Amino acid sequence: MKNDYSHYLNTQENFRQKWHEYFECPANFSSDHYVEQLAPLFGTDDFFKLTEAQRNQLNLEYIKLVAEALIFFEQLLVLGAWKIINKRTYLEAHTKRALQHFAYEELYHSHGFRHFLFIHENMHWNKNKIYADSKILRFIISKIVILAPGCVFLPGAKLEAFTLSYHKMIKKYYLNQRSNSWIHLNHIHQLDEAHHVPLEFELHNEIVKNEGVLKTFFGCIFFVLTMQLALGIGAFKVVKYALPEKNLFTRIRLMMKMARWAVRLTPAYNEAREMTRKQFIAKKPIYGNLFKFVYW
User: pLDDT digits over 117-172, tens only?
Assistant: 999 988 889 889 999 888 899 999 999 999 999 999 999 999 999 999 999 999 99
Average per-residue pLDDT in the chain?
Answer: 91
- How many angstroms separate the CA atoms of 155 and 151, rounded? 7
CA dist 93 to 3, 104, 204, Å? 11, 17, 16
Give the rounded distance of the alpha carbon of 38 from its chain centre. Answer: 17
CA dist 97 to 42, 84, 93, 157, Å? 43, 12, 6, 19
For 276, the domain range is: 52-295
pLDDT at 19 > cutoff 90? yes
pLDDT at 232 > cutoff 90? yes
Number of domains in the chain: 1
Confidence of residue 89 (pLDDT cuts 50, 70, 90): confident
Residue 2 confidence (pLDDT): 67
36 found inside a domain: no
pLDDT digits (tens, 9 = 90+) for 23-78: 998 889 888 888 989 999 888 889 999 999 999 999 999 999 999 999 999 999 99
34 found inside a domain: no
38 found inside a domain: no
- How many angstroms separate the CA atoms of 253 and 265, rounded? 17
Confidence of residue 261 (pLDDT cuts 50, 70, 90): confident
145 found inside a domain: yes
Non-local CB neighbours of 105 within 8 Å, separated by 6+ positions: 12, 15, 192, 196
The reply to whether the predicted model has a pTM over 0.85 is yes
Report yes or no: 165 and 66 within 8 Å, Cβ to Cβ: no
Residue 56: count of CB within 10 angstroms of its CB: 19
Report yes or no: 272 and 165 within 8 Å, Cβ to Cβ: yes
Nearest to 242 by CA among 232, 255, 229, 230: 255
pLDDT at 87 > cutoff 80? no
pLDDT at 210 > cutoff 90? no
CATH of residue 218's domain is 1.10.620
